[in-house]
Amino acid sequence: MQVPEVVDPSIIFAEYSYASSTTDTLRRHFAEMAHDIVAMGVAGEDLVLEFGCNDGVLIQPLRRLGVNAVGVDPSDVARRASEAQGWPLVAGYFDAGSANCVLSRYGRAKILVANNVFAHIDDLDGTMSAVVEVLREDGLFVFEVHYQGNLIGDFQFDTVYHEHLCYYSLQSLVELLGRFNFIVLDVEPIPIHSGSIRVVAAPADSKRPASDRVRRMLEAEKNWDIAHFASGVQERCVTVQKLIRDLRSAGRTVVGYGAAGRATVLLNYCKLGPALIDYVVDMSPLRHGRLVSGVRVPVRPTETFQRHYPDYALMTAWNYEPEIAQKERAFLATGGRFIVPLPHVRISGEC
């Protein structure tokens, strides 16, 4: 499953507005992943290389554990974080050029990591060629991707946009890796981003056995219902739009909560502009003062939200619902309510 139009990546990443460490959920997730990586047999000066490292949300906990961790990333977010936090960065996309740079500076990697990166890549063959060059023969390629099974099953149309070119099933990953003589050793469903998988792969020549979880997931994928996904998306859009229109007609104030890419897709697809949504609040200062593309709803800091609570907030960042609900306990305590659009439209906090 993929988006056919490819936007020049320099337009997206030269001035990137996504910093993983602004989210408590992601910080905890990658701190735990750092321990998991160490448990995979990293020792001494073994190199752990992460491409698409963003602001070092995984690199930092790895280095705190004494791991020789290096990042590869083209974004301004990564460059600033590397300079401020003092971890090594190869600035660029993970391709033949950056692979040669890594080899000349640091040698080959025991563990190669890529989290939520494959979705952004158009030249997958070029990336996999770099993986082959950099990874040791006894190494592991560990990566996480948003899982197509969760996207379909939970009607996550809001994650389909031009920054995400591809949406992966395990079958598609098995075929991609197989072209480069890699096998999938294990796959683990994880809750991050409302449903992802962590894949552990290795060169096929390593002769390592594969977990039975791989076989079971491949079998389950044969039963996906794409037609139900399409009709379910339209049903949820109509429900959200009617709910918010009715609330505004009754004199209620409604804002959005979370200005990531999901918000752009949700607000545009459901035709929720500034006449219905006063503003969208976001924790990242990189987005403050901007407008949500298309619908042109302004983005405000959380202080705006907390200074004068609205009646309702459309949780456009619904994939972080537990974290947001915990952070905004005072909003709920004063009678405020969150509208959660997916996977099923509901009002959070109602008795």
Domain count, the chain: 2
Sheet holding 47-51, edge to edge: 89-91, 68-73, 47-51, 109-115, 135-146, 196-203, 182-190
Domain identity same for 209 and 268: no
Q: Is residue 17 in some structural domain? A: yes
Q: Final residue of a domain: which of 187, 208, 224?
A: 224
Q: Final residue of a domain: which of 161, 190, 224?
A: 224
State mean pLDDT over 271-297: 94
pLDDT of residue 34: 97
pLDDT of residue 351: 43
Q: Final residue of a domain: which of 224, 243, 261?
A: 224
Q: Indicate if the pLDDT at residue 14 is higher than 80.
A: no
Tens digit of pLDDT for each residue in 81-93?
999 999 999 999 9
Q: Where are the beta strands (DSSP E) in 31-81?
A: 47-51, 68-73
pLDDT band at 102 (very low <50, low <70, confident <90, very high): very high
DSSP assignment of 73-134 equals E-SHHHHHHHHHHT--EEES-SSHHHHHHHHHHH--EEEEEEES-GGG-S-HHHHHHHHHHH
- SS3 call for 255: strand
Q: Where are the beta strands (DSSP E) in 116-208?
A: 135-146, 182-190, 196-203
Domain identity same for 60 and 28: yes
Domain identity same for 145 and 263: no
All residues at 6 or more sequence positions from 78 whose CB lies less than 8 Å from its CB, including other chains: 53, 54, 55, 56, 71, 89, 91
State mean pLDDT over 250-278: 96
Domain identity same for 260 and 200: no
pLDDT of residue 17: 63
Domain identity same for 169 and 242: no
Tens digit of pLDDT for each residue in 103-143?
999 999 999 999 999 988 989 999 999 999 999 999 999 99
pLDDT of residue 349: 67
Q: Indicate if the pLDDT at residue 194 is higher than 90.
A: no
Q: Indicate if the pLDDT at residue 149 is higher than 60.
A: yes
pLDDT of residue 161: 84
Q: Indicate if the pLDDT at residue 328 is higher than 60.
A: yes
pLDDT of residue 4: 76
**How many whole angstroms separate alpha carbon 181 and alpha carbon 336?**
54
Residue 152 phi, psi dihedral angles, 5° rounding: -75, -50
* Whether 162 contacts 3, CB under 8 Å: yes
pLDDT band at 181 (very low <50, low <70, confident <90, very high): very high
Token match 């480069």: residue? Answer: 180
Query: How many Å is the maximal CA-CA distance in the chain?
Result: 66
DSSP assignment of 302-337 equals HHHHHHS--SEEE-TTGGGHHHHHHHTHHHHHTT-E
Percent share of the chain, pLDDT over 70: 97
More confident residue, 8 or 28: 28
Q: Indicate if the pLDDT at residue 146 is higher than 90.
A: yes
Q: Indicate if the pLDDT at residue 311 is higher than 90.
A: yes
Q: Is residue 3 in some structural domain? A: no
The pairing of strands 89-91 and 68-73 is: parallel
Q: Indicate if the pLDDT at residue 341 is higher than 50.
A: yes
- The range of the structural domain enclosing residue 80 comes to 9-224
Q: Indicate if the pLDDT at residue 18 is higher than 80.
A: no
